[in-house]
Structure 1
């Protein structure tokens, strides 16, 4: 029998050559190639510049830049590998002028804004990131803070009526009934008063025709005169006097963008609510309604846990 041949250990030269091959392949792999990320809007305000810088710091391996929309060519003339992030409605109007163009994320657009500009059709290669709090999340917030509620009152007009179907679908598994009143003339309080009589809580839609500085006083005084809380429609209205709302701040949006930019554009969702969010509440309003102090972080964590395990 022949003796077993012993395997010679690799020499330093062999190891070095192997390491060079591995490193070369890693550096040339698509996963580490720098992406060209273009943010655009009507102007580079200090807030826009701050946001761009924050995204640049979050993605140091990419080329992140801002350019005013007025300085851009038509979308179809941009290189197809660019990833575009739209920061306002004028930049969306620019993008919609051409069905061709690079994959585009539309940041913080409301459901009403999209409906007015896109109707029921969605332009190709657009991904809409909603600024509205998700209806189901807002309803669960109402259920956590006010577990006794059964009937959720909702005001709407011809602009926001299309949101009611989704809201009712979200309310069904929670055992909640959505009660609605059309409010086309905000100077006429009768629809509001009728809704208050038939509701346990009000849920505000992010419709600026209904919820704005001119209507806030009537809405809030009328609801609290009946000891009814208003949930939403956004964090800004909480400061005015609604009980609470969910919202996403800049850090949440940056995390959302960072996650999407890690994915190939072909896998971007056509529309998307940010998965990261916070809860804002009005302590003075809570006390007036006899509600215990709201721990915003705990409520947000409870809502997030419910979304992970419905």
Structure 2
């Protein structure tokens, strides 16, 4: 009986033993202080593993890596490298948005990739709008051909919140009519994380146009909030580390094809809130309200 108990315990623990002490390889096109900080933080969380960063230019083809390597891709260039061939270890893909993935993958979701989205979930952003602007009913959304595919999902997420999505294409950024139309006909603007529309070159026009109409812009990301948008949800490095740590405890065949982090924060621009006559934004209270709204779905 003692032998069989030990044998059963070994069988139960084997998946955990086989995942411990393995190699976790991070790669990306650029080495930077931010990358090194991320790698060191992951090392701290995974003391039993060998965690290392190797610049993309120094790696062989994916098929030449050990099959039991747990691979973490840090940028779109690393994704392009992994997509060269199906052979090779499975990979967690970080720092990629839905729009970026669509441009590179289309509708494909290869079994060897797990895409961890960098852009905020659409429903989460709408819950933030509902919390900050409870009277807002019509939500204005600018989109490009690259982000058009998000509109159906956005409309579905808006329905249970009693919101209506008014979407306008913006094919020519020199033509302000789509933006002005939304500013006249909607209660709030929601920014999609589409870098062809929301970038440093368009920020001034978008923010000043919205401000002149006393209109709030929510999203598309924390960077735009610093530039003058009202608020956004976002997931910081600690949130991503918690997700990655949990996934690395699982065998790669159980990794999700795509995933948003459960952990997130809210950032708000208090100066913009005051200018728009909105109460000061309490990030913790906002996060709790948004999280409760998500849980109630």
1:231-270 equivalences under 5 Å are 231-270=218-257
CA distance in 2, matches of 1:106, 1:181: 31
CA distance in 2, matches of 1:120, 1:26: 39
The residue number in structure 1 matching 2:14 is 29
Structure with greater contact order relative to length (CA < 8 Å, sep ≥ 6): 2
SS of alignment partner, residue 151 of structure 2: helix
When residues 246 and 87 of structure 1 are mapped into structure 2, their CA distance, relative to the original with a 3 A threshold, is same
SS of alignment partner, residue 109 of structure 2: coil
The residue number in structure 1 matching 2:216 is 229
The residue number in structure 1 matching 2:160 is 173
How far 1:44 moved relative to its partner? 2.5
The residue number in structure 2 matching 1:4 is none
CA contact (8 A) 1:99 1:124 kept: no
Structure 2: state its 5+ residue gaps. Answer: none
How far 1:220 moved relative to its partner? 1.3
The residue number in structure 1 matching 2:35 is 48
Aligned-CA RMSD value: 1.9
| TM-score for both structures, normalised by structure 2 | 0.93
The residue number in structure 1 matching 2:172 is 185
SS of alignment partner, residue 232 of structure 2: strand
CA contact (8 A) 1:87 1:108 kept: yes
CA distance in 1, matches of 2:33, 2:136: 43
SS of alignment partner, residue 29 of structure 1: helix
Residue 62 of structure 2 is aligned to residue 92 of structure 1: no
The residue number in structure 2 matching 1:302 is 289
Structure 1: state its 5+ residue gaps. Answer: 1-16
SS of alignment partner, residue 137 of structure 1: helix
| TM-score for both structures, normalised by structure 1 | 0.90
CA contact (8 A) 2:111 2:257 kept: no
Number of residue equivalences: 292
The residue number in structure 2 matching 1:71 is 58
The residue number in structure 2 matching 1:276 is 263
